[in-house]
Structure 1
Amino acid sequence: MKKTLLTAATLLALGLAAQANAHESHACADEACTLQALYGGSGDSGAGIATAATSFGTWGFDTAGMDTSVAPGTDFFAYASGTWAKNTGIPADMSSYGAFRALRDLSEVRVRALVEGYALGDPATGGDTARIAAVYQGFMDEATIEKLGAAPLQPVLERVREADSHLALARLMAARDTFNTTLFGLSVADDQRDPDHYTLYMSQSGLGLGDREMYLRENFAPQRERYVAYIAQLLELAGWNDPKANAEAVMAFETKVAEAHWTRAESRDRDRTYNPVPFERFDAYAPGFPWAEYFKAAGVDQGRLAVVRQSTAVPKMAKIFAGTDVATLQAWQAFHAVDGAAPLLSSRFANAHFEFRDKFMSGQLEQRERWKRAVALVEGSLGEAVGREYVKLYFPADSKAKMDELVSNVKAAMGARLDTLEWMSPATKAEAHAKLKGFGLKIGHPETWRDYSGLRIANGDVVGNVLRSKQFEWDYRRARLGKEVDKGEWGMTPQTVNAYYNSVKNEIVFPAAILQPPFFDPKADPAVNYGGIGGVIGHEIIHGFDDQGRKSDGAGVLRDWWTAEDAAKFEAQAAKLGAQYEAFEFPQLPGLHINGRTAMGENIGDLGGLTIALEAYRRSLGGKPAPVIDGFTGEQRLFLGWAQVWRTLWRDDALRQQLVNGTHSPGHIRAFAPLRNIDAWYDAFGIKEGDPLYIAPEDRVRIW
């Protein structure tokens, strides 16, 4: 298939071809500054998201950020956001920047204002605010952390030294009150074949570089070389014997594990990743590992089985574990313990972690300010306790009402699209309609909040607080094994700038923090809202019908409800879409492309989501013509609204990480790639044959 080169305008926007032209800026430290950076003008200092939105253009779109010297059919990202990209620098403490990150900045500023208002008291009697204050202020006490040095790490390392056998190391791998790693990750979640109950899942793990490709592909040799040096550096900081030789041994061990791992694309296949194995069968299924002791140490031995996700990888990794000497396994655990704890320790540990993990691997120029890291620590430990207060201040009631209306309209549009699909048989359509009808919806925040009263937090004990939080969370999860699913539970906090679809609950979820410009503005032009949050709503709905979400029915049960003919037609169109995305080239990163199979669900979500958002917008007009605003038609504004939410700038190293480790296509690609398959986009902007983004009608992908 023809390769699609990104234009010079887009390369400039990405910070790839001319990154030096984009100034390095520092992130804002207060809400007024953050809002000014996000919306322009003076911003507001706490009036809530509706007031903040008034300065984002005049009708919800930043026309000043466009570059109209670029034709829409040449580079739609540059047309919609080229001037913004040229005038916006990636903050020095970030590896990428865009609409999502800007809203995350705003959320951080607001959370900071909340938590810094909490007085330090006795966490045992002062409730959640005292717990939050202890976690936040403990991390902010840099002088004490510096004075302690490596002392908080020593008990963790002593546990590694005491684990002087394969059995003891297996038990250590199962522990949650530690920073160690494991080959076999355990989690408790809704059972895909019995959605009313929780079950235990097991997934491949154990790689410090994240993905098997980093160990096996030739073009990642620099990353591997630097990783070995980093392992040796941390082992030396920890006082571990012979750090250089042990670093080489750890790398050799992880490389063997990487060879056993499934690819990310393989690990997405829900048919292949549901493999229940009774506990009593594990010794025969994957010999060489003390399974009974592992499950007991993890506290899940009251269960009956584990659903193994990568079925052929687990036996191979058990064999690798059995064939690896104890000294190497101890060094592997020691390194991961230091790596996990380093951000919480003195500067020599924290700086080493930053230099490799953030600067070298992702291109981030500066360490994030301490208060931002402290906010992240609080949210990781007591996220819903913060969220409970956040929504009182920053989630207006009318936002939920208008979101309910938008979701209803987009859902109705999806139903209408189902009726018109020529490639789908009546039998499959009936099942699809039943699934759509059963979609649940959660907006803003949970109805019932998490109870953190059992979490022991202590003033001044940063490392201990994190370890106890990890254990508290695991105890909360594992206690649910075999019990009925909590249908009201949320997978994100209200202050998270994101949204998701849960296939087992068959629901879409929109936290409060994403329900603000540029995604959603109650005062904006409806077309922009349909292109922004409407496209996101559609995207999440389509996740229920993407290449993996389509495998669950309306009750959330993993089963095949498709006719064989319909499934074949779907897969053929999905393959065409994957090929389109794989054709994009990144000249600064030769040999790297979007993995069409890994990103398939997200790419289908974008195409289908925007398609039904457009349908919903048309239906919302009630047969009346859309107004023309500033010379833009309604459909033009919708497509511009979509492009605006995917404004993204990248550093080269961060983009490399996204292409290798991410399941989403890079944001700047998402701004225009799905539009190339939507006929209305061609009509709206006069895109013609010969334009770089043009795709012939017969080659356009049409799924939902």
Structure 2
Amino acid sequence: MSETGIDTTELDPDTRAQDDLFRHVNGRWIARTEIPADKARYGSFYELAEEAEKAVQQIITEAQGADEGTEMRKFGDLYTSFMDEERIEELGTAPIDAQLALVDAVASVEDLVRTVGRLERQGVGGFFHLFVDNDPGNPERYLVFVEQGGITLPDESYYRDEKFASIRESYVSHIQRMFELAGAGADASAGTAPGTAADRAQRDDAHGRRAQREDAHGRRAQRVFDLETAIASKHWDNVKTRDAQATYNLLSWADLLALFTGAAADDSPAGALTIWRDALDVPAGVLDEVVVREPSFLEGLSSLITEDRLAEWKDWLSWKIIHGAAAFLPDAFVAENFEFYGHTLTGTPSIRARWKRGVSLVEGSMGEAVGRIYVDRHFGSTAKAAMDVLVANLIEAYRQSITDLSWMTPSTRERALEKLEKFTPKIGFPAKWRDYSALELDASSLFDNVRATSEFEFQRELGKVGKPLDRDEWFMTPQTINAYYNPGFNEIVFPAAILQYPFFDEARDAASNYGAIGAVIGHEIGHGFDDQGSRFDGDGRLTDWWTSEDREAFEKLTASLIAQYDALAPAQVPEHHVNGSLTIGENIGDLGGLGIAWKAYLISLDGSEPPVIDGLTGAQRFFLSWAQAWQQKSRDEEVIRLLAIDPHSPNEFRCNQIVRNIGEFYEAFSVGEGDALWLAPDDRVTIW
């Protein structure tokens, strides 16, 4: 490959860039590529993820023989326990029997909420999700956030939307089969060979009992689904939950109790919630003030926690235990769990190899311990230095763009520039690493290890409350192929593993780097100024620093972008449209990111003209690299699932719809009226 980083032999001559830039660059790859059997989608991100996965496996394998008591040995032991299939099969359901027995003993609402609290601490999903973050109203302190939960399908639309009717049927059958697996006793395999009449009678009796059990499990599954459907009806949809202002509701414990009035377990309001808190056994004061993201959900949920629904709640909690443990139980559970969540929901034909799932377990439990070694072996200091220069040029490009914006008033412009000045980039790896010294693991007991890691993370998170904000903390590991913007910290974070071809290559032409990693960095910076990020100031405080005039002008521009995306539907599932309101934040990020990356590329040239290399102009290389970065192929089921829940648009539109709004693209490829990607100048949107 030449210094451009663009393999021109891969460009599809049958698809013009003016009509479909995504397929002009990726069409040949798409035509010849089979999605791996263990994946729902495949492309540039996933190829890098496979490389990182293999590198991490090597580290973990070495860790299995590390010295006892070392951090390395801990994650080596965790992996060893996951790979011990013989021991897992031998134990059967024994690891969850005690938890299921707790549920069986529930005889009242008080018992129910107490048991939910106890189990939640062990990692079993509860009524709602708890997490710790900095307070949007006072970003220098941590608070507990309470977020809607209780359902096990991807989101609330799966319980009501007609297009998911077949998935709902499959889901109920899946729950039944999981109940059957968990409830199969010693007689589950009774009667396989011919024998005496008495033997046959005994087998007939066993088969009769089995049929009764299956009927009972079917009824339990239906009750779980009916209860989850009722819970889902109280959920906010995924557009409303994006609203930073609507989801910031600072409540005292007394306020929280007042919300939770329908689940009274004694004479006081919401006594059940107090019982739950005590069973959760959180440090004193941790829940004195909380942020409730969806207050009406708590009100609605409390109306469901009643004595007459107790049997449903017991079935639901048993289901939560089984579902949460499925990946760590015998292979029959693993296979059934994959059949629904992997095959039915995403279309993936085959489950990932066990070693890959073991790597994921370690990554999710001790990712930074692995990441420290990964960085030492796979990330060079020169790459970080080159990225620092690239980020500096992108920030300067944003500064120039904000200064020149025609639609923004001076007062808001000044505040936007202040926010940009306070912006913090983090590249490669954290300044300090997470401490796992308190985590105790044992190579002989997978389930105990899973509980230990859940308990460790529970205590680590809640332990932040009341302490100073740790601005050095990372929320991705260095070996992750991704990046993020954190509005509460006003920072972008780019892990080491994404800083590779096709996103970044120190040796290739600058235009290609700016068109790929530059646009991705620009995208993440742009989140600080998207429809929600723009509601946070430079210190990470949720505050309205815009004039009403500017907000109105901004929302007019975003409404046009929403309409553009609402009109899009992937060719492979044309009856399923993009939700422009759900994806608007990411679309703003893409649009601003690409436009700003072009400006940053010009800044990097320091006044020189972009060179022509291999017959390609700087602009052409820039946009071809942009398209190459979004190379991906997806299964139909996965496309449908993501359209319902993912705030990102499908990759073909992240590529094509964005360039339709960028003037330099029209110049680079002489796009004119009649070309498929032509968008009339008055319809093009430029925000930043």
TM-score, normalised with respect to structure 2: 0.92
Residue 482 (structure 2) aligned to one of 493, 498, 503: 498
Assess if the C-alpha contact under 8 Å between 1:178 and 1:337 holds in 2: no
Measure, in 2, the Cα distance between the counterparts of 1:578 and 1:100: 26
Structure 1 match to 2:69: 126
SS of 1:585's partner is: coil
Deviations 1:606-625 (A, max 9, x none): 00001100001011112211
Task: Check conservation: 2:120, 2:126, Cα contact below 8 A.
Answer: no
Tell me by how many angstroms 1:58 deviates.
4.4
Between the aligned partners of 2:485 and 2:512, the Cα distance in structure 1 is 22
Deviations 1:13-41 (A, max 9, x none): xxxxxxxxxxxxxxxxxxxxxxxxxxxxx
Corresponding position of 2:162: 218
5 Å-filtered alignment, 1:53-202, equals 58-120=3-65, 125-174=68-117, 175-202=119-146
- The residue aligned with 2:204 is none
User: Which residue of 2 is the match for residue 35 of structure 1?
Assistant: none
One-letter amino acid of the counterpart of residue 619, structure 1: I
Asked whether 1:297 is paired with 2:279, we answer: yes
C-alpha separation between the residues in 2 aligned to 1:678 and 1:425? 23
**1:695 paired to 2:669:** no
Counterpart-to-counterpart distance in 1, 2:54 and 2:555: 44
* One-letter identity of the residue aligned with 1:367: I
Verify the 8 A CA contact 1:176 1:474 in the aligned structure 2.
Answer: no
Gaps of 5+ in 1: 1-55
Single out whichever of 218-227 and 231-240 deviates more from structure 2. 231-240
**Quick one: distance in 1 between partners of 2:354 and 2:176?**
26
Task: Report if the CA contact (8 A) 1:384-1:493 is conserved.
Answer: yes
Number of the residue aligned with 2:585: 601
CA RMSD of aligned residues (A): 1.5
- After superposition, residues 543-554 of structure 1 pair within 5 angstroms as 543-554=527-538
Letter in 2 for 1:572: K
Output the CA distance in 2 between the equivalents of 1:388 and 1:155: 37
Q: Deviations over 1:374-418 (max 9, x none)?
A: 100111111100001000000000011000000000000000001
1:285 to 250, 253, 259: 259
Report the Cα distance in structure 2 between the residues aligned to 1:526 and 1:172, rounded to whole angstroms.
58
Alignment of 1:263 with 2:245, yes or no, is no
Kindly report which structure 2 residues correspond to 1:615-626, keeping only aligned pairs within 5 A, or say none: 615-626=599-610
* Amino acid across the alignment from 2:27: G
Alignment pair present for 1:681 and 2:665: yes
Name the SS for the 1:442 alignment partner: strand
Which residue does 1:44 correspond to in 2? none
The CA distance in 2 between the partners of 1:212 and 1:67, in whole Å, is 41
- Show the counterpart of 1:663: 647
Residue 224 of structure 1, CA deviation: 0.2
Superposition deviation, residue 296 in structure 1: 2.6
Give the conservation status (yes or no) of the 8 Å contact 1:98–1:647.
yes
Which structure has the bigger radius of gyration?
2
- Per the TM alignment, residue 160 of structure 1 is displaced from its structure 2 partner at its CA by 2.2
* Deviations 1:25-64, CA, capped at 9 Å, x for gaps: xxxxxxxxxxxxxxxxxxxxxxxxxxxxxxx654322333
Check whether the contact 1:177–1:468 (CA below 8 A) recurs between aligned residues.
no
- Residue 252 in structure 1 maps to residue 258 in structure 2: no
- 3-state secondary structure, aligned to 1:584: coil
Q: Which residue does the alignment assign to 2:199?
A: none
Counterpart-to-counterpart distance in 2, 1:162 and 1:669: 53
Counterpart residue number, 1:376: 360
Describe how 1:530-541 pairs up with structure 2 within 5 A: 530-541=514-525
Gapped regions of structure 2 (runs ≥ 5)? 185-212, 264-271
2:121, 2:458 within 8 Å by CA — same for their partners in 1? no
Distance 2:620 2:107 in 1: 66
Q: Return the letter of the residue paired with 2:276.
A: Y
1:326 is matched with 310
CA distance, structure 1, for counterparts of residue 258 and residue 321 of structure 2: 31
Whole-angstrom distance in 2 between the partners of 1:381 and 1:436? 34
- Give the whole-Å Cα distance in 2 for the aligned partners of 1:343 and 1:490: 27
Change (3 A) 1:170 1:109: same
Query: In the alignment, what sits opposite 1:37?
Result: none
Aligned partner of 1:643: which letter?
A
Closer, same or farther: CA 606–324 of 1 in aligned 2, 3 Å: farther
Shift of residue 640, structure 1, vs aligned partner: 1.0
The answer as to whether partners of 2:428 and 2:496 remain within 8 angstroms in 1 is yes
Please state whether the residue corresponding to 2:407 is helix, strand or coil: coil
Give 1:263's aligned amino acid: D
CA 1:163–1:60: 2 relative to 1, 3 Å:
farther
Say how many residue pairs are matched: 647
Most deviating of 157-166 and 408-417 = 157-166
Aligned pair in 2 of structure 1 residues 394, 149: CA closer, same or farther (>3 Å)?
A: same
Report if the CA contact (8 A) 1:276-1:306 is conserved: yes
Aligned to 1:25: none
Which 10-residue stretch deviates more, 534-543 or 183-192? 183-192
Q: Secondary structure at the match of 1:498?
A: coil
1:130 maps to amino acid: R
1:375-524 to 2 correspondence within 5 Å? 375-524=359-508
Q: CA deviation at 1:324?
A: 5.4
Please tell me whether the aligned partners of residues 156 and 237 of structure 2 are also in contact (alpha carbons under 8 angstroms).
yes
Q: Deviation string for 1:418-437 (max 9, x for gaps)?
A: 11110000000000000000
Amino acid at match of 1:217: D
Aligned partner of 1:14 in structure 2 is none
Query: What is aligned with 1:572?
Result: 556
Q: Residue 425 of structure 2 aligns to a residue in which SS? A: strand
Q: CA deviation at 1:121?
A: 6.7
- The answer (yes or no) to whether the contact 2:248–2:292 under 8 Å persists in 1 is yes
Could you tell me whether the CA contact under 8 Å between 1:176 and 1:467 is conserved in 2? no
| 2: CA distance, partners of 1:643 / 1:596 | 21
Distance in 2 between the 1:645 and 1:608 partners? Answer: 16
**Structure 1 residue 168: Cα displacement:** 2.5
- Superposed CA deviations along residues 342-380 of structure 1, whole A, max 9, x for unmatched, are 111111100001111101110111110111001001111
Residue deviations 1:553-589 (CA, integer Å, cap 9, x gap): 1111100000101100101111111111111123543
**Partner Cα distance (2:434, 2:646) in 1:** 30
Deviations 1:422-480 (A, max 9, x none): 00000000000000000011111111111111111111211111111011001011111
Residue 45 (structure 1) aligns with = none
Contact 2:109 2:307 in 1 (8 A): no
Q: Contact 2:172/2:225 (CA < 8 Å) preserved in 1?
A: yes
Equivalent pair of 2:136/2:542 in contact (CA under 8 Å): yes
Aligned CA distance change for structure 1 residues 168 and 287 (closer, same or farther; 3 Å): same
**Cα distance in 1 between the residues matched to 2:107 and 2:573:** 44
Cα pair 2:104 2:314 within 8 Å, conserved: yes
CA–CA separation in structure 1 for the residues paired with 2:516 and 2:32: 22
Give the corresponding residue for 1:41: none
| 1:520 alignment partner, SS class | coil
Cα 1:532–1:588 shift into 2, 3 Å: closer
Question: CA 1:121–1:104 in structure 2 vs 1: closer, same or farther (change >3 Å)?
Answer: closer
Q: How far apart are the structure 2 equivalents of 1:608 and 1:212?
A: 31
Letter in 1 for 2:23: A
Report the equivalent of 2:210. Answer: none
